[in-house]
Amino acid sequence: MKKQTIVVKIGSSSLTNDNGEIDEAKLTGHVDAIAALKKANHTVILVSSGAVAAGFKQLGYPFRPVTIKGRQAAAAVGQSLLIQSYIKKFQEHKIVPAQILLTRSDFSDRERYRNAFSTIMELLDRGIIPIINENDSVSIDELTFGDNDMLSALVSGFIHADQLIILTDINGLYTDNPVKNPQAKKYNFLEEITDDILAAASSDGSKLGTGGMKSKLEAAKTALSLGVSIFIGKGEGKDSLLHILQGTGDGTYITNKALEPINTSRQWIALHSESVGKIYVDEGAEEAILYKGRSLLPAGIFKVKGSFEKGDVVEVYGKNGLLGKGEVNYSSSEVEQEMKKRLEKKKFEPSIEVIHRNRWVEIK
């Protein structure tokens, strides 16, 4: 089998018990399955939840804390316990793991985004398994990844993974939450996540997890848009991950062969950048950038809002609203000067690319 790059995301309920402790048997099972993938020459990145669920008991809480400071403190205790267990178990397979804790702002800052990328690549080149979690103890509540399902989708796009495997306490996506509706049927294969499928998945999760199936599907949608295939299921047993790669896993496969990976800088523009201005274009420019694969030229721009510099990201609007985002090659005042020259019928530069094609992402 071709060597693949796999992101494995493990949910809290697949690593801990209800009492706020690591379930060593479950964790060992996952480590053994990951080691089997590595042995088969695949590259693996682990996104592991479980810090809050593994830490609240030792912090002195009888159940998962509901306050922000309680959760953040539980994560501080639990994250080190988790990593301790991972180091011990991976050592038995002579595998060295590394901890990476990320916050949303690490992704929105372009330099930190590039740094995170090169660190992960260096670890992978040296055969180390990066274990990624959100840095819960310092994350600001309104500025998080949402949950680790989304974090794992972003990571898999970022490193151009072949497959994202989301392991949870249920063997896939059902037409309804099977815990509440025993008539619910399982989806084995999907090519897209329609609004109907999203609407049927509930955000009810296990006692320990966050987001339920809904957050997994939202993450799967993001991963698909970045050209990554997804599997959602339980994954028990040391050969489970190999079976999943071979197509015989018990869960839901979500794959769309027509979607292509998009490069990291365009991912950053689409998913993480903050727009600092707006550009309004006419119908001709809209058609050129949306349907003819062209760059945005000053001739089609009729209004600029906000003040931006070369290298900033701006939103582009057409007659029916937002068309997409792109990185500008010129400042707002330079673009305005070109617009003015054009309106005054003076010599302007019709061919300068305000947004180059490779720095443009359409928002659908």
Ligand X SMILES: Nc1ncnc2c1ncn2[C@@H]1O[C@H](COP(=O)(O)OP(=O)(O)O)[C@@H](O)[C@H]1O
Is residue 212 annotated as involved in ligand binding?
A: yes
What is the C-alpha to C-alpha distance for residues 284 and 40, in angstroms, rounded to an integer? 52
| Residue 179 to residues 12, 13, 20, 129, 188, Cα–Cα distance (Å) | 18, 15, 22, 34, 18
Q: Could you say which of ligand VHF, ligand X, none residue 201 binds, taking C-beta under 5 to 8 angstroms by partner kind?
A: ligand X
Q: Could you say which of ligand VHF, ligand X, none residue 72 binds, taking C-beta under 5 to 8 angstroms by partner kind?
A: none
Smaller CB separation from ligand X, 185 or 319: 185
| Residue 151 to residues 3, 157, 237, Cα–Cα distance (Å) | 23, 10, 25
Interface of this chain with ligand VHF, residues 26 to 65, rule: CB under 6 A: 49-53
20 near ligand VHF, judged by CB under 6 A: no
Smaller CB separation from ligand X, 137 or 177: 177
100 near ligand X, judged by CB under 6 A: no
What residue is closest to ligand X based on CB? Answer: 11
137 near ligand VHF, judged by CB under 6 A: no
**CB-CB contact of 336 with 279 (8 Å):** no
How wide is the angle at C-alpha 188 spanned by C-alphas 182 and 189, nearest 5°? 140
SS3 95: coil
152 near ligand X, judged by CB under 6 A: no
Contact residues for 235 (Cβ-Cβ < 8 A; gap 6+): 14, 30, 33, 165, 167, 241, 244, 249, 251
Query: Which of 6, 8, 13, 312: binder of ligand X (CB under 6 A)?
Result: 13
Closest alpha carbon to 261 in 231, 222, 228: 228
7 near ligand VHF, judged by CB under 6 A: no
134 near ligand VHF, judged by CB under 6 A: yes
Taking residues 201 to 230 in sequence order and writing x for each that binds ligand VHF by CB under 6 A, - otherwise, the string is: --------xxx-------------------
User: In sequence order, what DSSP letters do the residues of 249-301 get, joined into one string?
Assistant: -SEEEE--TT-----HHHHHHHHTPPEEEEEEE-HHHHHHHHHS-PPB-GGGE
73 near ligand VHF, judged by CB under 6 A: no
- Residues written for the chain: 364
Q: How far is CA 229 from the centre of its chain?
A: 12
Smaller CB separation from ligand X, 52 or 285: 52
Q: Could you say which of ligand X, ligand VHF, none residue 144 binds, taking C-beta under 5 to 8 angstroms by partner kind?
A: none
What is the C-alpha to C-alpha distance for residues 29 and 181, in angstroms, rounded to an integer? 29
Near ligand X by CB under 6 A, which window of 106-114, 171-179, 261-269, 341-349?
A: 171-179
Which residues contact ligand VHF by CB under 6 A?
11-12, 49-53, 75, 133-134, 136, 147-148, 209-211
Which residues contact ligand X by CB under 6 A?
11-14, 168-170, 173-174, 176-179, 200-202, 204-206, 208-213
* Residue list for the binding site: 9, 49, 136, 148, 168-169, 210-216
* Residue list for the binding site for ATP: 9, 168-169, 210-216
